Amino acid sequence: MSTELPGQESLLDRLQRKRDGRNVDPRLGTLLGEGSHQRVKDPDVAFPIHGPRTQAEPDAGASPTYHGLPVIKQPVWIPTIPTYLYVGGVSGAASLLGLALDLHGNRPLRRLALRCQQVGTAGDMLSAGLLIADLGRPERFLHMLRVLRPTSPMSMGSWVLALSGGLNTVALVLGRARGILGTLGRVSGATAGLLGMPLAGYTAVLLCNSAVPVWQATRRTLPLFFMASATASAGSLLSLLPHSEEEARVLRPYRLAGKVAELACGVAVERDARRTPGVAKPLSLGTSGALWRTSRACSAAGLVLDALPGRRRWKQVAADTLTTAGAILARFAVFHAGKQSARDPRATFESQRAGHGAAEVLGHAVASDGKPLSFPLPVVR
Amino acid sequence: MSRKGFFTDSTVCIGCKACEVACKQWNQLPDDGFHFTAMSYDHTGALGASTWRHVAFVERAEPLPGHVTGVGDFSWLMLSDVCKHCQRAGCLESCPTGAIVRTEFDTVYVQPDVCNGCGYCVVNCPFGVIDRRPDDGRAWKCTLCYDRLGEDMTPACAKACPTESIVYGDLEALHARAERRVEQLHEQGLVSAYLYGQDARSQPGTGGLNAFSLLVDRPEVYNLPPDPVVPTMKAKQAWGAVAVGALGMFAMAVGAVLVGRETRP
């Protein structure tokens, strides 16, 4: 090859090539193509291996790990996702209350029905914005509605959110019109109200339908918790907004029922996770544990304050603020618990060895290495 | 087109990382930076958006039958790890955009122009393979050299492997070859040798892997899950809980309205 190379050859390149005399075209080392443009992650953030590890030493005994490295990837989502889990829930539960008011409410409750619809619509819009903010490529959000895939809660949820937002908006615009347009608006509103229930619940399926141990383990109770919490927080938010005396009589049983259900389901979630001790750890330890405990305390305080006799406005505001804080903190706690759980390889290994992997749904008895899933003789302590 | 896959025989891997380099070279992936992990010769750590082949290094204080070392009870296990191209792939079943497809070679492929970066496949892979690249957020993983298969070429990693630890070919032929190899090892006294994820019978949670491996210790040692499951298999229970919750929510909403209306003076 001749010594003349066009383009960006530096003096250093030329000197080096002259010295070692190799017949190498440095342009061949230039990376091209789509995959090559990626900026490589900061290793300390990308792989906890480079930073402090969850387990210092690989255990050669009963439960080995690969240098303590995580086996599955951490969720890549940013805090807009737990925020969305709250906003979507409030929006769904508010839309549903709007439907119930339209069905059974009387004249003094009309304004509350409209308020519910407004909260639902605003929540749907905000939810879409939060989801788009989380995507690495927001310009491609429409790809979400390219297919309908029943196996993917993300796909189902995108459709539910898009439909609910669209129908709520139609209902808000046309709901008070006369004639056929008014009917269209009211039918849209009713459909959006019904969609509010899957909107509040699918977000939990979104988390549970994953390889993250703590989310997968709580799949029977987390949807119930999210839906109860959505009811409690929608009731609290509507109570914080100005309302009349008649409307307060509907809001009080609604939010109280939600708050009681939320606390009960929170206990159920903890019990569900505790089937495997290693899996439940993030709900009691570290940042996620602190968040979870605080959220439970806020929710309990919100319920107690609300149920106490006396009708002072400040008491009501404090109770509803505490409930709202509890609901938001619970979403962040579940989110961070998932991240923590994914970092811990033992959570994955232990729960699968305990028969909570594929064996739970398929009923087989041996692991991939042909050994029995559970050791036949329980260790006597 | 016939079903293609990889058979990775960890007993002949020498940890040269030629597969990692060949993969990066063919697929034009940037290097991961020159970081030492301070734990073994493994410097890549895990599969990711820019690492589609990864060689795991395990040092054990246990001998391998038939091996003679000068340092007493010691053995070194190496395994070149890659996307498993599962028969029931968590990433494919969870992708809301249809960006992840099954190709005519029965492999799992991410279409980069469709992926919108929601990151849902990342939490749905029970093996922790697929990852989102940090700059534009799209998900990337091993394509099983889809662009080479179409030209009837061997994937770069298998082509570069100097010991035939990575074997590429028709899945049926690979299964036969792998079973012969396990029998041979058992005869030589290495009775712990077994095939990981060969078919739906040995790994029902994934329906079998198109990239399966021969291992000589528990899967955990190589950072592989012992009983992986495609999360979709468990989704029915979660959706069932949503149905129950919906009944509850509806009862609470209608009940509140009825109670509030009737107590009106």
The strand pairing partners of B5, in sequence order, are B169
DSSP B7: E
Contact B132 A76 (CB under 8 A): yes
Per-residue pLDDT of A128-144, as tens digits, reads 999 999 888 888 888 88
- Residue B226 has its nearest CB partner, among A77, A261, A349, at A349
Contact A136 B119 (CB under 8 A): yes
Distances (CA, A) of A46 to A81, A269, B134, B139: 19, 29, 9, 14
- Give the pLDDT mean for B215-230: 94
Which of A32, A208, A369, A371 to mutate to test binding with chain B, by most B CBs within 10 Å of its CB?
A: A369
SS3 B58: strand
Contact A353 B42 (CB under 8 A): no
Q: Cα separation of A12 and A260, whole Å?
A: 73
SS3 A375: coil
Task: Using CB atoms within 10 Å of the CB of residue A274, give its burial: 0 to 12 exposed, 13 to 18 middle, 19+ buried.
Answer: middle
- Give the pLDDT mean for A20-36: 72
Stretch (H or E) spanning A147: none
Cα B21 to chain centroid distance, Å, stands at 19
- Binning pLDDT at 50, 70 and 90, where does residue A6 land? low
Task: Using CB atoms within 10 Å of the CB of residue B40, give its burial: 0 to 12 exposed, 13 to 18 middle, 19+ buried.
Answer: middle
Is 70 exceeded by the pLDDT of residue B152? yes
Contact B234 A33 (CB under 8 A): no
What string of DSSP letters covers A269-283? Answer: HHHHHTTSHHHHGGG
- Give the pLDDT mean for A224-239: 96
Cα B135 to chain centroid distance, Å, stands at 23
Per-residue pLDDT of A195-217, as tens digits, reads 999 999 999 999 999 999 999 99
Q: Cα separation of A121 and A96, whole Å?
A: 12
Question: What is the rounded average pLDDT for all residues in chain A?
Answer: 87
**Alpha-helical segments (H) within A48-109:** 80-104
Contacts of A141 in chain B (CB under 8 A): 116
Is 80 exceeded by the pLDDT of residue A363? yes
- Give the pLDDT mean for B250-265: 82
Q: What pLDDT does residue B68 have? A: 76
Is 50 exceeded by the pLDDT of residue A3? no
Is 90 exceeded by the pLDDT of residue A160? yes
Full-model pTM: 0.90
Q: What pLDDT does residue A263 have? A: 96
Ranges A100-104, A365-369, A375-379: which has the least confidence: A375-379
ipTM, interface predicted TM-score of the complex: 0.92
The tokens for A137 are 């490529």
Q: Does B9 touch chain A (CB under 8 A)?
A: no
